[in-house]
Amino acid sequence: MQTIAKRSLTAVLYLLGSVILWECARPVTELTILQSEPVIMAFIAVTMMLSYLRLPRWAQGAGGGLMVLYSLHYFFFQNQALFNVKWIMQVGQSIYQNFRMLLQGNLVNLSDLFSTLIFFVLLWLISLALQHWIKAGHFFLFFFLALALLSVLNTFTFYDARRAIVIVTVSGLIILGVQKLMRVQESGMKFEGEKPYSTWFLTIGVISVLALAAGLAGPKLAARWPNPASYLQKISVPGLSRTGAFFSAGQRIGYDEDDFNLGGSLGMDTTTLFTVSSSGNNDYWKVAAKDIYTGKGWKSSNDSYAPLSSPYSRFSVLNPYEGNTNTSEETATLTFTNESPSILPYSGQLTVIQAQGKMLKLDQATGQILTSDGKKVKTERISYLQPTFQIDRLRQVQNGGDPVSVREADLQLPDSLPGRVRSLARRITGSENNRYDKAMAVVNYLKSPTFSYSTDRVPRPTGNQDYVDQFLFNSKIGYCDNFSTAMVVLLRSVGVPARWVKGFNSGTYVGQTTETAGGKKVTRFDYEITNANAHSWVEVYFPGSGWVAFEPTPSFSGPDKFIGTSPGKAQPLPAASQGGSTQSSAPSQAQQTQTQPNQQLKTGTQPKPIREQQQSQSSNTAGKAADSLKKQNGAVNDWRFAGWMFAGVIAAGLLLLVLTWKKWMAAIYTRRQKGLKIRDRNSFNRAYKNLFRLLRLKGLKRSETQTLREFAERVDHRFSGNNMMRLTMHYERFVYGNQDAVPDHQKAALDGLCEAIIEKLKPAGDEVHSNKEQNR
Amino acid sequence: MNHGAEHQLIADMIDNVETVVVGKRKTIKLITVALLAGGHVLIEDIPGVGKTLLVRAIARTIGAEFKRIQFTPDLLPSDITGLSIYNQKTLQFEFRPGPLMGNIILADEINRTSPKTQSALLEGMAEGSVTVDGVSRELPDLFFVMATQNPIEYEGTYALPEAQLDRFLIKLSIGYPSRENELAILNRAAGRDPLKELHSILEVSDILRLRRHTDSVFVSDSIKNYILDIVAATREHPMIYLGVSPRGTLGLLKAVQAHAFVEQRDFAVPDDVKAVAPFVIGHRMVLKQEATYEHMTALTIVHEIIGKIKVPVMHEEPVK
């Protein structure tokens, strides 16, 4: 009867413990990419259940390990069968690679798979610790930590943990109450009264409710200091400014929905998001275009989603080109990886889009296309018109002649824009008399050596500082967002309608395949697009030609193609292949961009022979150049980062030593004691002193006014025996008596006494444990 | 230096006494300490807790001549020292020894007699001789006084002056027996007088021999310094008007030696000092008036002092 009651009480403990653990793990589903509550819930339930069922250790270990693997499969390998060696091999490979990265101090590039693995292993460990605390009856620490965690999350993140805190508080109080009840029972006390249990539980309940009510109803002081979170965000350690794509709230290079606050440093992230197999070449992949500059970043005028159905040309945002632009139709297939966000990028003028037959919707303001239900798709097939602009026609465009909708949306500037930005814009474009040359003047100005490209050491505008103003006049260092935003603002300042487009650049050229479809040979170019390819650029409106893409970011080539010449321009078009080649000449396009002197200047690399380039099979040499630039910066960061890591490891080691000093000091003294043989006064003195040090580590310290005997009595009382007193009585002869040497017949006895005392000291922890085991 | 036989003798003696005086082993030990140290004992307690029984049991165990003097207000010095009487046959004064001329004297209710008579007793205790009719007469080698007095706040008493209290090595009180011990006393009272069944297991010469051994108990310098620390503290204590005299220090040393011997050791340890100090120096201090206001007694102050003095432990020799 007693055991049944105990088992059920334990069950209550495990249940409530699981609830608390769940509430602590739950923020993960909102703050990271692990957005599946049932999997984490199942994970906690299974590990706790294994422990509750008192399965043997190996079974618990195997069960936990399998649950970790299952969770990994759920999040990353759903497209593969659960019982398949392949994905397990991938996990193993990922672990190997990421461990190597860890050893190199390369925390930033750890893959999501590895982070997830670590998360689940940690969750498992915490669950084990929780089980131990439940069994041992020490629950308060966990309770306290859980509340601390939730409070911190509530304060510093957008996670609303108030409900969780209430649940954890009530569960924790009940657990503490039940543990007390069990302790009282174990101590053999009898309950009096007719219904002892119900009285007890009623009391626990009343106390919980009272505590909660007092907490909720009590008056609360207003915060005495500003939210520290805003301050913490400003602290940015180079190389650590990003916590990886794993945390959706982190600052990273890569696609990000929120462009409201731009600025700050970025880390590198080479997680592949999708691959493209396209008949076109070197296309940028557009996700959205935004029209309102706020002084800090970009937002769109309104979110008006419309179901997307053909013909797409009736949506003005999907109809960018006008009569003077030649187009050719291309097709592309985009295959998304697990890491990609829910996006449907496209290029040029969209004619057909299919996303696994799903209903799609279009943001009419930004041109962003999403599935109606917001869910991700695996593949996307599109057909689109790739433009070729005629420079002569573009040059004919003066200011004016823009439709009202364009004038209203794409000339907006905030009133707060500093006047010197406008003056600079006039100075740059003043000598040009047409829109195209004005745009190119701005591009050339931004690509001049005055500005340098970097993803780190980029400051974030503070206070009322304008993002563009800071970049143009103060920092003069930045990445695509800085350059593209600056160009849009400069152009708008002189009345040229322009908009800010974000998406991905063409990515890394992987290879090409030629297939025969319908009797025609079609060459398809394969690209891999990673988070590092996330990009932003500029589109300028030219009446008659439509929206033309410009690339103001150094070391990047633009997507659009131009026909015509630009006589007398020292700095040629960065975005265009001047030869006016057609769209079919795929790699040559890139090679030509590569040979532009501007880029050599930027990258500092030797121009490579074309042949060699072909062998390297990289069509996106511009991206590659950018890569090498990033690598140079990265090397510095890696070293600094390694330094930080090293310091961190040492600090952690020291902390560990400090926290466990009692244990290892005891180990040292115990070892030393073994070597101390009692032979004469001095050796006895040493051995006895060493014993005292050991005892002090166990919390037994002789006060100075205590005699040796009084202390020995205390020690013997604690460890039940009389060894210490016997040893002390011998020792007294040497301290207070006149004895100098140990008689031969006593030597072994004295050493034996020392050993017996140490023996009682040493296994104190294990002994308690084994007692517990027996009790169960 | 092996004192196994002597140690055994003392243990036997204490055991023997304890068969009569139930549950007062600590008191018996303290009295033995005084006996071995050659001092005298003042037992201050209310009537009826077994003072006389204790003394008689000890005397009987030793097999020594036991004399009892009941002090009354009209007792004269000659009543205890003895007096010379003119013998008409021999035409000479003959000395008739008084009760003080014994080995073990129980001076009962010493504070009820006049100071004049008290002085006669105290002279004997201090000098080992008494002067009667101008002739100094030696007391026996074993001369051990156990005086009792009722607590001084009782009426009709003459409080002993401080200088005289100093002559007692140990002052103690017996206290009520514990419940179990009192039950044992009740059960036993139904039978015969336990004192009659007590055999003597020592002789006076044994005690004298034990005293010589006690003198040879080794007291290290660290212990001597510990004693001096304690004594010095009594002289500096803010609540003490008059600290322990050098005679007290000497007495403490002798008591420590005796205690070590009673504990079957031939060297003294700090525990010996702690065990005897309250009983040896407690009655040698004169407290200031403030102390009584704060309800401090000599004993509490001694305990307080002992609680503050560092105990000498490790050997002075450098380690390593």
Contact present, A391 and A414 (Cβ < 8 Å):
no
Of the candidates A507, A477, A502, which has an alpha carbon nearest to the alpha carbon of residue A488? A502
Chains A, B: CB contacts within 8 A come to 63
Asked if pLDDT for residue A381 goes beyond 90, the answer is no
Q: Are residues A572 and A682 in the same domain?
A: no
Residue B318 contacts A where some CB pair is shorter than 8 Å: no
Q: What are the domain boundaries of chain B?
A: 217-320
**Confidence category of residue A661, pLDDT binned at 50, 70, 90:** confident
- pLDDT, average across residues A104-123: 80
Of residues A388 and A197, which shows the higher confidence score?
A388
Of residues A512 and A624, which shows the higher confidence score?
A512
Query: What's the pLDDT score for residue B226?
Result: 92
The burial of A600, by beta-carbon neighbours within 10 Å (0-12 exposed, 13-18 middle, 19 or more buried), is given as middle
Do β-strands B240-242 and B286-287 pair in parallel, antiparallel, or remain unpaired? Answer: antiparallel
Structural domain span for residue A727: 661-775
Least confident residue range of A405-419, A482-496, A667-681, B202-216:
A667-681
**Confidence category of residue B229, pLDDT binned at 50, 70, 90:** very high
Asked if pLDDT for residue B22 goes beyond 60, the answer is yes
The burial of A376, by beta-carbon neighbours within 10 Å (0-12 exposed, 13-18 middle, 19 or more buried), is given as middle
For residues B7 and B122, what is the distance between their CA atoms, to the nearest angstrom? 31
Q: Is residue A252 part of a domain?
A: no
Q: Which of residues 202-221 of B touch A (CB under 8 A)?
A: 218, 220
Q: Is residue A338 part of a domain?
A: yes
**Confidence category of residue A520, pLDDT binned at 50, 70, 90:** confident
Residue B95 contacts A where some CB pair is shorter than 8 Å: no
Tell me whether residues B306 and A689 touch, CB distance under 8 A.
no
Q: Are residues A501 and A363 in the same domain?
A: yes
Query: What's the pLDDT score for residue B250?
Result: 92
Q: Is residue A362 part of a domain?
A: yes
For residues A623 and A563, what is the distance between their CA atoms, to the nearest angstrom? 23
Strand partners, B44: B149
Q: CA nearest A710 in B: which residue?
A: B271
Of the candidates B10, B2, B1, B5, which has an alpha carbon nearest to the alpha carbon of residue B263? B10
Contact present, A23 and A168 (Cβ < 8 Å):
yes
Strand partners, B96: B83
Query: What's the pLDDT score for residue A225?
Result: 53
Q: What is the pLDDT of residues B283-313, one digit of tens each?
A: 888 888 888 888 888 888 888 898 888 888 8
Tell me whether residues A708 and B270 touch, CB distance under 8 A.
yes
Q: Is residue A245 part of a domain?
A: no
Q: Are residues A372 and A459 in the same domain?
A: yes
Closest partner CB to B314 (pick from A689, A705, A738) = A689
Classify B96 as helix, strand or coil.
strand
Closest partner CB to A705 (pick from B307, B315, B319) = B307
Least confident residue range of A54-68, B150-164, B178-192:
B150-164
Contact residues on chain B for A688, CB-CB shorter than 8 A: 314
Contact residues on chain A for B266, CB-CB shorter than 8 A: 737
For residues A746 and A752, what is the distance between their CA atoms, to the nearest angstrom? 10
Q: Are residues A525 and A595 in the same domain?
A: yes
Q: What is the pLDDT of residues A22-60, one digit of tens each?
A: 888 888 777 777 777 888 888 888 888 888 888 888 888
Tell me whether residues B267 and A710 touch, CB distance under 8 A.
no
Q: What is the pLDDT of residues A143-182, one digit of tens each?
A: 888 888 888 877 776 677 778 888 888 888 888 888 888 7
Highest averaged pLDDT of the listed ranges A293-302, A514-523, A630-639: A293-302
C-alpha dihedral sign at A670, A675, A679, A682: negative
Q: Are residues A666 and A616 in the same domain?
A: no
Asked if pLDDT for residue A416 goes beyond 90, the answer is no
Q: CA nearest B307 in A: which residue?
A: A705
The burial of A226, by beta-carbon neighbours within 10 Å (0-12 exposed, 13-18 middle, 19 or more buried), is given as exposed
Fold of B217-320: Helicase, Ruva Protein; domain 3 (1.10.8)
Contact residues on chain A for B225, CB-CB shorter than 8 A: none
Q: What is the pLDDT of residues A725-775, one digit of tens each?
A: 888 888 888 888 877 788 888 888 888 888 888 887 765 444 444 343 344
Q: Are residues A605 and A666 in the same domain?
A: no
pLDDT more than 70, % of chain A: 78
- pLDDT, average across residues B253-273: 92
Any idea which residue has 């794509």 for tokens? Answer: A245
The burial of A392, by beta-carbon neighbours within 10 Å (0-12 exposed, 13-18 middle, 19 or more buried), is given as middle
Contact residues on chain A for B222, CB-CB shorter than 8 A: 735-736
For residues A411 and A425, what is the distance between their CA atoms, to the nearest angstrom? 14
Of the candidates A309, A494, A477, A489, which has an alpha carbon nearest to the alpha carbon of residue A399? A494
Q: Which of residues 14-73 of B touch A (CB under 8 A)?
A: none
A125 min Cα distance to partner chain B (Å): 46
Tell me whether residues A735 and B319 touch, CB distance under 8 A.
no
A690 min Cα distance to partner chain B (Å): 11
Find the radius of gyration of the CA atoms of chain A.
36
Q: Are residues A621 and A669 in the same domain?
A: no
Query: What's the pLDDT score for residue A611?
Result: 38
Residue A706 contacts B where some CB pair is shorter than 8 Å: yes
Q: Which of residues 240-299 of B touch A (CB under 8 A)?
A: 265-271, 274
Query: What's the pLDDT score for residue B56?
Result: 84
When the pLDDT of each residue in chain A is averaged and rounded to a whole number, the result is 75
Query: What's the pLDDT score for residue A193?
Result: 58
Least confident residue range of A95-99, A636-640, A646-650, B37-41:
A636-640
Residue A707 contacts B where some CB pair is shorter than 8 Å: yes
Residue A740 contacts B where some CB pair is shorter than 8 Å: no
Of residues A267 and B174, which shows the higher confidence score?
B174
Asked if pLDDT for residue A243 goes beyond 50, the answer is no
Contact residues on chain B for A728, CB-CB shorter than 8 A: none
Structure tokens at B318: 């450098």
Expressed in angstroms, the distance from the first to the final Cα of chain B is: 30
Classify B1 as helix, strand or coil.
coil
Q: Is residue A247 part of a domain?
A: no
Q: Are residues A554 and A439 in the same domain?
A: yes
Mutation to test the B interface, candidates A736, A738, A739, A740, most B Cβ within 10 Å: A736
Query: What's the pLDDT score for residue A598?
Result: 40
- pLDDT, average across residues A679-706: 83
Contacts of A130 (CB under 8 A, 6+ apart): A17, A20, A21, A48, A142
Asked if pLDDT for residue A444 goes beyond 80, the answer is yes
Asked if pLDDT for residue A415 goes beyond 60, the answer is yes
Asked if pLDDT for residue B154 goes beyond 80, the answer is no
Contact residues on chain B for A734, CB-CB shorter than 8 A: 315
Query: What's the pLDDT score for residue A621?
Result: 43
- pLDDT, average across residues A469-489: 87
Q: Is residue A250 part of a domain?
A: no
Query: What's the pLDDT score for residue A2?
Result: 57
Total domain count for chain A? 3
Mutation to test the A interface, candidates B216, B264, B311, B316, most A Cβ within 10 Å: B311
Name the E strands within A364-507: 369-371, 379-390, 452-453, 477-478, 498-504
Of A175, A197, A217, the residue that ends a domain is A217
Of residues A261 and A88, which shows the higher confidence score?
A88
Tell me whether residues B315 and A735 touch, CB distance under 8 A.
yes
Tell me whether residues B218 and A737 touch, CB distance under 8 A.
yes
Asked if pLDDT for residue A483 goes beyond 70, the answer is yes
Q: Are residues A505 and A554 in the same domain?
A: yes
Highest averaged pLDDT of the listed ranges A367-371, A718-722, B246-250: B246-250
CA atoms within 13 A on the CB side of A605: 19
**Confidence category of residue A594, pLDDT binned at 50, 70, 90:** very low
Q: What is the pLDDT of residues A525-568, one digit of tens each?
A: 888 888 888 888 899 988 888 888 888 888 777 776 676 654 43
Mutation to test the A interface, candidates B269, B274, B317, most A Cβ within 10 Å: B269
A471: which DSSP letter? I
Contact residues on chain B for A685, CB-CB shorter than 8 A: 314-315, 317, 319
Tell me whether residues B269 and A708 touch, CB distance under 8 A.
yes
Closest partner CB to B315 (pick from A702, A707, A734) = A734
Q: What is the pLDDT of residues A574-587, one digit of tens each?
A: 443 333 333 333 33
Strand partners, A550: A538
C-alpha dihedral sign at A455, A459, A462, A467: negative
Least confident residue range of A7-11, A251-255, B315-319:
B315-319
Q: CA nearest A682 in B: which residue?
A: B319
Query: What's the pLDDT score for residue B231?
Result: 92
Query: What's the pLDDT score for residue A565?
Result: 52
Q: Are residues A590 and A454 in the same domain?
A: yes
Give this prediction's pTM.
0.47
Q: Are residues A558 and A620 in the same domain?
A: yes
Asked if pLDDT for residue A238 goes beyond 70, the answer is no
Contact present, A443 and A551 (Cβ < 8 Å):
yes
Of residues A301 and B277, which shows the higher confidence score?
B277
Tell me whether residues B267 and A682 touch, CB distance under 8 A.
no
Q: Are residues A409 and A491 in the same domain?
A: yes
Q: What is the pLDDT of residues A191-237, one digit of tens each?
A: 665 666 777 778 888 888 888 888 777 776 665 555 554 444 443 33
Structure tokens at A503: 């998406």
Query: What's the pLDDT score for residue B258?
Result: 93
A705 min Cα distance to partner chain B (Å): 5
Of residues A231 and B120, which shows the higher confidence score?
B120
Strand partners, A548: A540
